[in-house]
Amino acid sequence: MTLNDRQWQRVARGMDGEGVELSAEERSVLEEVRAAEQALLGRLDVTLPAGVLAKAERRMTAELARPRRGIRWVYGAVAAAAVVLIVAGLLPLLPPGSVTNKDAADPLRAASTEQLLNSVALTEVEAEVALLDSQLSELEADLWLSRAPEPGEAKMDSIEQQLDDFWLDGGASLPEIEG
């Protein structure tokens, strides 16, 4: 007795109680399977050893108690994650080098120390530059005062003096300008 796939499918649907019109051959197979199933009925059943169900029940009871502990863990994990996120969000807002680590071996600490040294070094250079600048100014002033005034410069100084007197004292005549 050989059925094709379609026929097996029809017999299966018949076994499932669907109203399927079966051929004599298909019906014969259906009866055969049904009889074999009946013959097996009860023979496959196994007696449950003592204590097995009770043991499974204990595991089940423990599992039923677990969710409450689980929820506490979930709350704890969520709180910890929130703290980490807040700290991570605030870090970029802090000035560079403001976060240090007490552990000397920590790269963060090493970096911040280096930054501090750099800032000190920059200040020293700046002070030195300022000192040099003031010394140069003094030297320039000394050189200017030490040299003899040229004739034109003296005449110009005299003219400036007469102009100031005219405007301040209300003098009658302005000094003559040569040339």
Is position 71 an interface residue for another protein (rule: CB under 8 A)?
no
DSSP 19: -
How far apart are alpha carbons 110 and 113 in whole angstroms?
5
Binding residue (CB under 8 A) for another protein from 19, 21, 46, 178: 46
Question: Nearest Cα to 2, choosing from 32, 37, 29, 23?
Answer: 29
> Closer CB to another protein, residue 60 or residue 83?
60
Structure tokens at 107: 């790269």
CB 100 within 8 A of CB 112: yes
Say whether 55 sits in a helix, a strand or coil: helix
Residues 4-23 that bind another protein (CB under 8 A): 5-9, 11-13, 15-17
Among 47, 98, 146, 173, binds another protein (CB under 8 A): 47
Place of tokens 């074999």: 36
Interaction site with another protein (CB under 8 A): 3, 5-9, 11-13, 15-17, 29, 32-33, 36-37, 39-41, 43-49, 52-53, 55-57, 59-61, 63-64
